[in-house]
């Protein structure tokens, strides 16, 4: 958490400078890929969304407190034009900057407060989930891969596309499905990923056309059980990153984390309350302090 909040501080210190997601991630010494996933799980916004909302929130206060014209404020907030700034401001606050300055009613705005450790208190105090810690042997996988931007990820839709392949992949070990997050590409401020819907196989013989292969190396994992709708998966991720991991005796390892869908997952209704998904977070024992 100390590493993570260094990035939050970095954002606040450079709100009115041109900064990238990669620079924000570097402040916490995480790779951009892993930082982006952790950030979205904890904060609820992507780093880019959070930066934009914080800039607009501070801009709103300046509209009332500072004698600054809207164009200068737009450029200071790193928008290319007053028009782009106005569109973004209205999208967040449901009024234009000029309307807000005239109304002088800050209570109508949904401010994006700076993210703080206090926002994680409810996780630390109200939820208790202990994972299973185990070493999983190397696993060969065959599946389909789709690139996505974080805001476009829709797990039910992805698994629906995988439906026709279920039970038809040669050398399949079991009916379990693996959902794997991979880094795919970093370009400017945009970080895209690939999500792989796959099954374990004994070997890579007879891989169907259009499908890809992956091999997960042997690794220690913390396995959490998510019970309920796929739509609520974000709550479990917040608990893992925001509560369990900082208080545990383990450190996160920058290896692929994955979801395992077993016989308790409701394939027909992913948002069923009786579904179970097993989240696997790669970890290593934390060195003892002397």
Convert the pLDDT of each residue in 220-275 to its tens digit: 999 998 888 887 787 788 788 877 887 789 988 888 889 999 888 877 777 787 88
When divided into structural domains, the chain yields a total of: 2
Task: State whether 256 and 205 are in the same domain.
Answer: yes
Task: State whether 66 and 159 are in the same domain.
Answer: no
Q: How confident is the model at residue 132 (pLDDT cuts 50, 70, 90)?
A: very high
Task: State whether 149 and 257 are in the same domain.
Answer: yes
Mean pLDDT of 105-109: 56
CA 220 → CA 22, 97, 132, distances in Å?
28, 51, 10
Q: Residue 115 domain-assigned?
A: no
pTM of the predicted model over 0.75: no
The pLDDT, as a whole number, for residue 190 is 64
Task: State whether 93 and 185 are in the same domain.
Answer: no
Q: Residue 174 domain-assigned?
A: yes
Task: State whether 139 and 268 are in the same domain.
Answer: yes
Task: State whether 276 and 165 are in the same domain.
Answer: yes
Percent of the chain with pLDDT over 70: 87
The pLDDT, as a whole number, for residue 217 is 93
Q: Residue 118 domain-assigned?
A: no
Q: Residue 290 domain-assigned?
A: no
CA 201 → CA 9, 21, 107, 188, 195, distances in Å?
45, 37, 57, 37, 18
Q: How confident is the model at residue 105 (pLDDT cuts 50, 70, 90)?
A: low
Q: How confident is the model at residue 100 (pLDDT cuts 50, 70, 90)?
A: confident
Q: Which domain holds residue 278?
A: 132-285
């Amino acid at each position: 958490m100390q590493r993570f909040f260094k990035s939050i501080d970095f954002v606040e210190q450079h709100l009115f400078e041109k900064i990238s997601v990669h620079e924000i991630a570097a402040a916490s010494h995480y790779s951009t890929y892993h930082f982006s996933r952790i950030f979205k799980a904890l904060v609820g916004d992507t780093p880019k969304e959070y930066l934009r909302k914080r800039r607009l929130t501070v801009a709103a206060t300046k509209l009332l407190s500072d004698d600054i014209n809207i164009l200068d404020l737009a450029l200071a907030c790193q928008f290319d034009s007053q028009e782009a700034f106005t569109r973004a401001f209205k999208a967040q606050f449901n009024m234009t900057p000029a309307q807000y300055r005239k109304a002088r009613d800050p209570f109508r705005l949904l401010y994006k407060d700076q993210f703080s450790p206090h926002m994680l208190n409810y996780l630390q105090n109200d939820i208790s989930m202990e994972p299973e810690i185990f070493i999983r042997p190397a696993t060969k996988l065959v599946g389909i891969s789709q690139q996505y931007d974080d805001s476009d990820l829709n797990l039910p839709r992805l698994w629906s596309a995988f439906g026709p392949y279920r039970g038809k992949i040669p050398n399949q070990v079991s009916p379990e499905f693996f959902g794997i997050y991979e880094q795919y590409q970093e370009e400017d401020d945009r970080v895209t990923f690939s999500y792989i819907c796959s099954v374990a196989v004994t070997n890579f013989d007879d891989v169907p056309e259009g499908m890809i292969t992956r091999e997960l190396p042997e690794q220690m994992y913390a396995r959490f059980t998510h019970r309920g709708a796929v739509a609520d998966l974000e709550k479990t991720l917040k608990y893992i990153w925001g509560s369990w991991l900082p208080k545990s005796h383990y450190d996160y390892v920058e290896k692929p984390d994955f979801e395992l869908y077993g016989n308790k997952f409701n394939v027909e209704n992913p948002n069923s309350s009786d579904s179970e998904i097993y989240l696997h977070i790669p970890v290593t024992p934390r060195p003892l302090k002397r």
